[in-house]
């Protein structure tokens, strides 16, 4: 699947609490499809994480999203101004859209944001079974 620039793919910074129900469903679908494809956490844990209680926590962050019609990939992060750092909390791309440079584009966007905000450190934790 090639990315057609005429269809106006865009990357934008959003507050997670401002997502519509449809956007939240798109994000949860991406998370679910990645967990299933890569099989790095048990199904019961996936179901718990995507339960109502846990999903509300997911959306209390800032997001960088890649849209191509709808959301195809995203990363969520917390900006700690007191330590001039950013922690990437979630970083997912719809499996059908992987290996197209979208993740790199999201990171480049975040790096630009970090530079403007005088961030000195960016980090994330990765599941040890994650092969992506």
Which SS3 state, helix, strand or coil, does residue 1 take?
coil
User: Tokens 């800032």 sit at which residue?
Assistant: 62
Q: Which of 66, 60, 78 is nearest to 123 (CA)?
A: 78
pLDDT of residue 8: 59
pTM: 0.81
Query: CA angle, corner 121, sides to 14 and 29, nearest 5?
Result: 35
Starting at the earlier edge strand, list the strands of the sheet with 121-124: 10-15, 62-68, 70-80, 85-93, 121-124
> How far is residue 10's CA from residue 16's CA, in Å, rounded to a whole number?
17
> How far is residue 16's CA from residue 13's CA, in Å, rounded to a whole number?
9
Cβ pair 30, 24 in contact under 8 A = no
Tokens of 105: 């584009």
Cβ pair 38, 131 in contact under 8 A = yes
pLDDT of residue 1: 47
pLDDT of residue 122: 96
Q: Tens of pLDDT along the chain (132 residues)? A: 454 555 557 898 888 888 888 998 899 889 888 877 777 777 777 777 766 545 666 777 888 999 888 899 999 999 998 999 999 988 999 999 999 999 999 999 999 999 999 999 999 988 777 766
Q: What DSSP state is assigned to residue 96? A: G
pLDDT of residue 121: 96
Characterize the bridge pairing of strands 121-124 and 85-93. Answer: parallel
């Amino acid at each position: 699947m090639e990315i057609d620039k005429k269809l106006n793919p865009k990357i934008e910074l959003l507050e997670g609490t401002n997502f519509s129900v449809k956007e939240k469903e798109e994000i949860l679908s991406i998370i679910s499809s990645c967990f299933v494809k890569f099989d790095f956490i048990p199904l019961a844990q996936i179901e718990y994480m995507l339960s109502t209680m846990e999903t509300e926590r997911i959306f209390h962050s800032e997001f960088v999203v890649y849209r191509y019609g709808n959301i195809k990939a995203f990363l969520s992060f917390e900006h700690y101004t007191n330590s001039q750092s950013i922690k990437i909390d979630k970083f997912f791309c719809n499996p059908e859209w992987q290996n197209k440079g979208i993740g790199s584009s999201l990171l480049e966007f975040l790096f630009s944001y970090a530079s403007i905000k005088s961030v000195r450190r960016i980090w994330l934790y990765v599941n040890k079974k994650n092969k992506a």
